[in-house]
């Protein structure tokens, strides 16, 4: 199996693993005692957003030409990340549920995800590759920032899924959250 096919397979599997983690976190928040409606809302919005994003990229973006797909890919994910963050806040406001520490973490993580996706869009289409239709086709073409962005986005989602599993309070546990994020980043960079 050549390397690009293996990378596509691993990224597809990682997205499905993150989706399953969000769904399980949603179900646990609803059915365990005491219920955590705030965590259930966050995990539910994240799982629906991740599934809808995968569907849109698989079925709508594929209708565009390859050059247009490559051009818009990261910009659409950036907008989708921001929409998820604000949808989590909006659902909390609409239902009247107080924000938990996990909601703040969702908002920060998805804002960081949107920022990283925007940086990848700028890096790929404006600065580094000057609208090349086939960037990073070979490992010689890729560079360090591209890898950091790619791993960072997936590490954000994996970290968020694991943080939503936590049943305790996150307030004041910044060192443990940072170590968890570093572990997610390290595992994905292997």
Residue 162 pLDDT greater than 50, yes or no: yes
Closest CA to 19 of 160, 150, 170, 116: 160
Task: Output the pLDDT for position 134.
Answer: 56
The rounded distance, in Å, linking the Cα atoms of 2 and 157 is 27
Work out the average pLDDT over 9-21: 69
Closest CA to 3 of 187, 120, 141: 141
The rounded distance, in Å, linking the Cα atoms of 181 and 14 is 16
- 107 CB-side CA count, 13 A: 14
Closest CA to 25 of 40, 45, 46: 40
Residue 12 pLDDT greater than 60, yes or no: no
Whether the upstream peptide bond of residue 34 has omega within 30° of 0, thus cis, is yes
pTM over 0.85, yes/no: no
Query: 31: helix, coil or strand?
Result: helix
Task: Output the pLDDT for position 9.
Answer: 47
Helix (H) or strand (E) segment spanning residue 142: none
Taken in order 141, 146, 151, 153, the sign of the CA dihedral is: negative
Q: How far is CA 15 from the centre of its chain?
A: 9
Task: Output the pLDDT for position 170.
Answer: 61
Work out the average pLDDT over 167-180: 70
55 — pLDDT class (breaks 50, 70, 90): confident
Residues 28-51 pLDDT 10s: 888 887 788 888 888 898 888 888
- 35 CB-side CA count, 13 A: 8
Task: Output the pLDDT for position 1.
Answer: 42
169 — pLDDT class (breaks 50, 70, 90): low
The rounded distance, in Å, linking the Cα atoms of 8 and 89 is 32
Residues 72-129 pLDDT 10s: 778 888 888 888 888 988 988 898 888 777 777 778 888 888 888 888 888 777 766 5
Residue 68 pLDDT greater than 60, yes or no: yes
């Amino acid at each position: 199996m050549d390397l690009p096919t293996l990378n596509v397979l691993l990224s597809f599997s990682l997205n499905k693993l993150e989706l399953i983690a969000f769904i399980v976190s949603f179900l646990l928040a609803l059915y365990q005692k005491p219920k955590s409606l705030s965590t259930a809302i966050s995990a539910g919005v994240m799982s629906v957003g991740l599934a809808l994003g995968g569907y849109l990229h698989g079925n709508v973006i594929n209708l565009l030409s390859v050059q247009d797909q490559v051009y818009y890919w990261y910009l659409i994910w950036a907008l989708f990340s921001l929409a998820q963050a604000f949808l989590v806040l909006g659902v909390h406001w609409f239902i009247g549920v107080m924000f938990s520490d996990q909601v703040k973490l969702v908002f920060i993580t998805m804002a960081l995800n949107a920022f990283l996706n925007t940086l990848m869009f700028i890096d790929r289409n404006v600065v580094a590759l000057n609208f090349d239709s086939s960037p990073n086709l070979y490992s010689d073409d890729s560079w360090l920032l591209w890898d950091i962005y790619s791993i960072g986005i997936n590490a954000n989602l994996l970290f968020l899924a694991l943080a939503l599993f936590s049943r305790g309070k996150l307030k004041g546990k910044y060192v443990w959250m940072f170590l968890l994020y570093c572990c997610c980043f390290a595992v994905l960079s292997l």
